[in-house]
Amino acid sequence: MLDKIFHPGEVEARLYAQWEDSGAFRAGSKTGMPSFAIVIPPPNVTGSLHIGHALNNTLQDALARFERMRGKNVLWQPGTDHAGIATQLVVERELAKRQMSRVKMGREKFLEEVWRWKEESGGTIVRQLRRLGASCDWSRERFTMDEGLSRAVLKVFVALHKEGLIYKDKRLVNWDPRLQTAVSDLEVENIEVKGKLWHIKYPISGEAGRFIIVATTRPETMLGDVAVAVHPSDERYTSLVGSQALLPLANRPIPIIADEYSDPEKGTGAVKITPAHDFNDFDVGKRHGLAPLNILTKEGALNDLVPDAYRGLDRFEARKRVVADLDALGLIEKTEDIVHAVPHDEKTKTVVLEPYLTEQWYLNVTPLAEKALQAVEEGRTRFVPEHWTNVYYNWMRNIQPWCISRQLWWGHQIPVWYGPDGGIFVEETESEARAAAKKHYGREVALNRDPDVLDTWFSSALWPFSTMGWPDKTPELKRYYPTSVLVTGFDIIFFWVARMMMMGIHFMGDVPFHDVFIHTRVLDEKGQKMSKTKGNVVDPLDIIDEYGADALRFALAIAAGQGRDIRLGINRVETCRNFGTKLWNASRFCEMNECVRKREFDPATVELTVNKWIVAETARTVSEVTTALEAYRFNEAAGAAYHFVWDVFCDWYVEFIKPVLNGNDEATKAETRDTAAWTLDRILQLLHPFMPFITEELWTRMAEHAVPRRSMLMLSPWPDLSTLPQHEEARSEMNWLIDLISGVRSVRAEMNVPPSARLTLLLKGASVETSLRLATHRDVALSLARLSSARVTADIPQGSAQFVIGEAAAALPLGDVIDFAKERARLEKELKKSEDEIARFDAKLGNPGFVAKAPEEVIEEQKEKRAEAEAVAVRLREALKRLSA
C-alpha cells in the first residue's frame, strides 16, 4: 500500500543508481533507429550547480528521456570545462589562505596544485547533476583538458595556423591589470559609474597665452598623448591644425591634427590622442603615422616613459596627481560630473580593464563566420525561439578577430616554440617542433615554448566533436554528429554557440547542431538577477532536499516559456510538489480499487462512455505533449500533462468511476479498473521526462499487485495513441455532462416548511457557467445541500434527489449514502447562519415560486423555461445512467 505522500529523499538516490547501473543512460546503439544527441554546456569543473544549470539540465534531460522513450539512440554527452580564469582565480585564492602564491610556486607546482584542486572539488557539480536526475551518459564524461580533448585543441590550433588564420599581432587588447592577462571583447562588462570630465588646457607652442582645450575622463593617460585631433571642418580650430601643442607636465610637443574621428559636438571638439590607451585613438594614430606611446606597466602603474614624478604610481593615484598638478598650473579649465560606462572584468566586476598594447595570438574568424552565417541563413541550424537568429546574425556580420591567447597558466598551453632568433615553430608536439627547427636551422637548437594558454572558449568551441573522439574517425562521430539540439542560455550565444558553429563547420564540414534552443534566465521572485552579493540566490540543492528533484524540475519546465525570464518563487515549487502528491494519491486510489495493469488490455475496446472518454482524452493529451516537446515548448508540454492529470483524470474521471467501482456490475467494474490502470500508466510515461523519480517509483509500485513490469519506466516506449478511436460521441456526451454539472449555478438550501424539506437543484436554464463538481453522488447531495439554494425534501424516496430545473423537477438516484436526517439537521444549523444570504439570493433570483400572483408574461416565460429544463433534466438522467451502464 502506498503511503499518503511521496518521499523523494527515500527514493531518488536508489532510483538514480538503478538507472545508471542498468546502463540506461548509455548512448544507444540500436541499429536502424534514428539518433538524438545533445552535448551538455560544460559547467565549470570547480563550480557548483546554480539555478540556471538546474533549468538548463532539466530541459536537456526532459528531451533526452523523451527521445529515449521514443526509441531513438540517445547520446547526452556530459563533461566539464576547465574554465581558465575562474579556476585559476579560485586556486590562487586558496593558496593565499595558506600564505602561498602562484608566482612563488612557479608554473609547474602551481599547475599541480590546480589539478589537485580539480580532483578534489571537480566532482561536485557532476554529483549535483545526478541529484537533479540528469540522465547523461557518464561513461563518456569528458573534461576540456583531458588527453583527448587537448589533442583536438592542438590539432585545431596547428591546422588553423597552417591555414594562416591564426597569427600573432601587436595591437590594443582589453587588459586585466590584476590577472595580468588579455581578455576578449566579450569578457568586458561596461559598468556605468560616476566620473568626471576634465577640460584641460594644452598650451600652443610658440604662442604664449593661447591654448587648445581637450576634455577627458582619463587625465593620467595624457602623459601618453601623441597628438590633439580636431575635425577637419571644425572652423574653431582650423587655424591650429598643423601647429604644435605643448603637452603639459611632460613638456613634450605634440601635433594638432585634423581627423574625422574628432566630433565637434562632443567635449570641446578637440580630443587628445593616446594610441596606446584607447581603441579609437589607436586607429587615429595609425592613420597619421603616430607611434603609440605606452605609459603603463602590466600592473596598471605608470612606467618609465613618464616624468619622474609619476613613475610607479598606480593609474588611479596618477590620475589624482596629474589633476592636482594641472590645477596648480592653472590648466584645468573646468570639471564636470558625469556618468559614463567603464570597462570592468566580467567575473568580479571590480577591476577596471585597460586598453593595453601587447602582442597576442589572434584567430581571423571572418572566413569561418561567413560559413557559420550561411548555415543559419540556409536553415541548416535553426534558433528557437527564432528571434535569436538576428542576434546571431548581427554579431557574426560584425565579427572581430578573436584574441585567443591568455597570460594564464591554467589552460591549454599554446603549441608554439620559438627558436634562438625568434623563429616560430607551430607543431602539435615538442618533438615535432624540434624536428621542424632542426630542419630549419640545420642543427639542434634550444627552443622556448610560448608561455601563454588559450582562451577557455577555444576548447569549448570544439566540444561537439572533440568529445566524440575527433580527430579520430569514431563511430560516435558518425552516429551522433551533427548533434540534434543545443540547449543553452542566450548569454553564451557569442562566446560559445557562434564559435562552435565556426569550428564545427570548418573541421567537420557540417554544423554542430540542427537546433539551438535558447532558454531564458532564472530570476528571483522579484525579477532580480540572483547574485551572491544581493543574497537572493536560490540553491537548487536546497530545493531538492526539501521538495524533491521532481518538484524543482517541474516548476522550471512549466515556467520555461519562449519569451520572458522565469521568476522562480518557492511557492511555484510547492505547487509542483503538490502536483506530485496529487499524482501519488491518484495512484493510491487506483491501488486501493485494484486498478491493476493487464497486459492484454486493449483501450480500443472499452464500452463504457466514461472509459471511452478518458481513453480519447488520454490520446489527445499524449499528442499535445508530444507535439509541444518536439517544438521545445516545455511549458505547454508540462502544462498539458498537469491539466490532464489534475483537471481531467483526478477531478472528473476518478469521481465518475467511484460509483461504478462501488457498484455491482462486475463486467463494467473490470473494464473500468483496467482503463484506469491503463490511463495511469500513460500518465506516468507522459510525466516521466519532467518528473522522472516519482513516475519511476509509481511505475514499479503499481506493478506490485499486477503483471510485473518488463523494464523500468525510463526505458518504456513513449505512448503512440494516434490510432485509437476518437470516440467523438462519448467525448461530446461527457463534455456536455461536465459542462452541465459545472453549470449548476445557484443552489439553495432551505428548510421550507418543516418537517417537509426538499432538495432542489436549480440549474440556470439550460446554460452553464461555473463549476460544481460531481464528485460522488453523495458529494452531489452534500454540495447541493451546502449551497445557497437547495431544498431538501423528505417526501422523495430516500437515496434520491429531486432536481428542479427552472420549475421542472427530475428525481435522480443518489444511492444509499445519504442520511437525510443527518443532512437535514446539519442544514438547519447552516441555514440559521446564512439567512441573510438566502434573502439576498431570493431578491436576486426573484424566485417566481414565491410570487403570489405572477404576471402573465412571467408565467409564460416560466413555462418555456420549464419545458427547456425538463428536456435538460431528462438528458441529464439518461447521461448519468449511461455512465455506469
Partner RNA sequence: GGGCGCGUAGCUCAGCGGGAGAGCACUACGUUGACAUCGUAGGGGUCGCAUGUUCGAUCCAUGCCGCGCCCACCA
- Closer CB to RNA, residue 284 or residue 433? 284
The amino acid at residue 812 is L
Q: Minimum distance from CB of 164 to RNA (Å)?
A: 25
String of contacts with RNA for each residue 364-403, x by CB under 7 A: -----------------------x--xx--xx--x-----
Crossing angle for the helix pair 499-508 and 147-162, to the nearest 10 degrees: 80
Task: Report how far residue 282's alpha carbon sits from residue 275's, in angstroms, rounded to the nearest whole number.
Answer: 4
Give backbone dihedrals phi and psi of 407, rounded to 5 degrees, phi first: -90, 60
Using alpha carbons only, what angle is made at residue 177 by residues 171 and 179, rounded to the nearest 5 degrees? 105
Which residue, 397, 508, 506, is CA-closest to 389?
397
Return the C-alpha cell found at 848. 417566481
Helix extents (H) in 378-486 = 388-397, 430-441, 456-460, 463-466, 475-480
Task: Report how far residue 377's alpha carbon sits from residue 374's, in angstroms, rounded to the nearest whole number.
Answer: 5
Rule CB under 7 A: say whether 742 interacts with RNA: yes
- Closer CB to RNA, residue 124 or residue 243? 243
- Closer CB to RNA, residue 266 or residue 286? 266
Q: Minimum distance from CB of 289 to RNA (Å)?
A: 20
Collect all residues with Cβ–Cβ distance below 8 Å to 674 and sequence separation of at least 6: 595, 598, 601
Considering only the stretches 10-18, 37-45, 523-531, 792-800, report the one whose residues sit in contact with RNA under the rule CB under 7 A: 523-531
Residue of 770, 835, 851, 859 that binds RNA (CB under 7 A)? 770
Helix extents (H) in 645-709 = 654-661, 666-687, 692-701
String of contacts with RNA for each residue 156-185, x by CB under 7 A: -----------------------------x
Q: In which order are the strands placed within the sheet that holds 416-418?
A: 424-426, 416-418, 448-449
Task: Report how far residue 158's alpha carbon sits from residue 122's, in angstroms, rounded to the nearest whole number.
Answer: 29
Q: Minimum distance from CB of 445 to RNA (Å)?
A: 42
Rule CB under 7 A: say whether 797 interacts with RNA: no
Considering only the stretches 56-64, 113-121, 278-286, 374-382, report the one whose residues sit in contact with RNA under the rule CB under 7 A: 278-286
Task: Report how far residue 303's alpha carbon sits from residue 326's, in angstroms, rounded to the nearest whole number.
Answer: 20
Return the C-alpha cell found at 470. 575527433
- Footprint on residues 666-705 left by RNA (CB under 7 A): none
Rule CB under 7 A: say whether 303 interacts with RNA: no
String of contacts with RNA for each residue 540-569, x by CB under 7 A: -------------------x-x-xxxxx-x
- Closer CB to RNA, residue 826 or residue 882? 826
Which residue, 191, 215, 196, 204, is CA-closest to 265?
215
Q: Minimum distance from CB of 642 to RNA (Å)?
A: 8
- Closer CB to RNA, residue 183 or residue 586? 586
Which residue, 383, 471, 388, is CA-closest to 150?
471
Rule CB under 7 A: say whether 527 interacts with RNA: yes
Rule CB under 7 A: say whether 571 interacts with RNA: yes
Residue of 15, 462, 552, 787 that binds RNA (CB under 7 A)? 787
Number of residues that bind RNA (CB under 7 A): 82
Q: 211 with 204: CB under 8 angstroms? A: yes
Rule CB under 7 A: say whether 807 interacts with RNA: no
Q: Minimum distance from CB of 292 to RNA (Å)?
A: 16
Rule CB under 7 A: say whether 268 interacts with RNA: yes
Rule CB under 7 A: say whether 779 interacts with RNA: yes
- Closer CB to RNA, residue 183 or residue 416? 183
Strands (E), 204-263: 211-216, 227-230, 244-247, 252-258
- Footprint on residues 91-120 left by RNA (CB under 7 A): none
| Ramachandran sector of residue 432 (left: φ over 0; alpha: ψ -120 to 50; beta: rest) | alpha
SS3 category, 440: helix
Residue of 180, 243, 771, 862 that binds RNA (CB under 7 A)? 771
Rule CB under 7 A: say whether 870 interacts with RNA: no
Q: 34 with 72: CB under 8 angstroms? A: yes
Pairing of strands 35-39, 354-363: unpaired
- Footprint on residues 436-475 left by RNA (CB under 7 A): none
- Closer CB to RNA, residue 35 or residue 216? 216
Residue with cell 589624482: 320
- Closer CB to RNA, residue 280 or residue 358? 280
Considering only the stretches 275-283, 499-507, 671-679, 864-872, report the one whose residues sit in contact with RNA under the rule CB under 7 A: 275-283
Residue of 48, 121, 243, 581 that binds RNA (CB under 7 A)? 581
Q: 824 with 751: CB under 8 angstroms? A: yes
Q: Minimum distance from CB of 598 to RNA (Å)?
A: 21
DSSP code for 515: E
Task: Report how far residue 49's alpha carbon sits from residue 59's, in angstroms, rounded to the nearest whole number.
Answer: 15
Rule CB under 7 A: say whether 525 interacts with RNA: yes
Residue of 347, 709, 773, 866 that binds RNA (CB under 7 A)? 773
Q: Minimum distance from CB of 726 to RNA (Å)?
A: 19
Residue of 261, 303, 631, 736 that binds RNA (CB under 7 A)? 261
Residue of 651, 828, 868, 870 that binds RNA (CB under 7 A)? 651
Rule CB under 7 A: say whether 269 interacts with RNA: yes
- Closer CB to RNA, residue 285 or residue 464? 285
- Closer CB to RNA, residue 426 or residue 759? 759
Task: Report how far residue 487's alpha carbon sits from residue 517's, in angstroms, rounded to the nearest whole number.
Answer: 5
Residue of 131, 319, 506, 572 that binds RNA (CB under 7 A)? 572
Task: Report how far residue 885's alpha carbon sits from residue 872's, in angstroms, rounded to the nearest whole number.
Answer: 20
- Closer CB to RNA, residue 24 or residue 763? 763
Task: Report how far residue 281's alpha carbon sits from residue 259's, in angstroms, rounded to the nearest whole number.
Answer: 11
Adjacent-strand bridge partners of 383: 516
DSSP code for 285: H
Q: Minimum distance from CB of 635 to RNA (Å)?
A: 6
Residue of 291, 341, 670, 871 that binds RNA (CB under 7 A)? 341
Residue of 280, 358, 700, 752 that binds RNA (CB under 7 A)? 280
Residue 55 to residues 42, 61, 209, 560, Cα–Cα distance (Å) = 14, 10, 66, 8
- Closer CB to RNA, residue 459 or residue 789? 789
- Footprint on residues 36-55 left by RNA (CB under 7 A): none
- Footprint on residues 194-253 left by RNA (CB under 7 A): 197, 215-218
- Closer CB to RNA, residue 448 or residue 571? 571
Residue 78 to residues 26, 141, 464, 759, Cα–Cα distance (Å) = 11, 5, 11, 65
- Footprint on residues 582-621 left by RNA (CB under 7 A): 582, 585-586, 588-589, 592-593
Task: Report how far residue 46's alpha carbon sits from residue 661's, in angstroms, rounded to the nearest whole number.
Answer: 56
Residue of 263, 542, 665, 728 that binds RNA (CB under 7 A)? 263
Q: Minimum distance from CB of 341 to RNA (Å)?
A: 3
Which residue, 579, 527, 585, is CA-closest to 557?
579
Residue of 14, 168, 170, 340 that binds RNA (CB under 7 A)? 340
Rule CB under 7 A: say whether 342 interacts with RNA: yes
DSSP output for 745-781: -B-EEE--BTTB-----EE-TT---S-----SHHHHH
- Closer CB to RNA, residue 113 or residue 550? 550
Rule CB under 7 A: say whether 821 interacts with RNA: no
- Closer CB to RNA, residue 113 or residue 187? 187
